[in-house]
Amino acid sequence: MNQLTNAGHAINLPLKGDFYVNDQFTFEIGGKGKSTKQLTGIDNSFFAVDDMEAGIGNKIPLWMFGLLY
């Protein structure tokens, strides 16, 4: 969330998920085994996942957000 704010994006708290970016994208933070149930049915939803080298589907490795710095 810090990296996205520093990059000039608007961050809000959604009803589901951990944070909402630019009134468009919902993110949930978690570990590699994080269930996708929490964001089922939410358009433009993504998981920022720890302990992953490469992304797949809507799961993005958490370390990649550091590249926004």
The pTM of this model reads: 0.81
What residue ranges do the domains of the chain occupy? 2-68
CA–CA dist 61, 55 (Å, integer): 6
pLDDT at 47: 92
Query: Which residues of the chain register pLDDT less than 70?
Result: none
State the pLDDT at residue 44. 92
* Amino acid symbol at 63: W
**Strands 45-49 and 19-21, sheet pairing:** unpaired
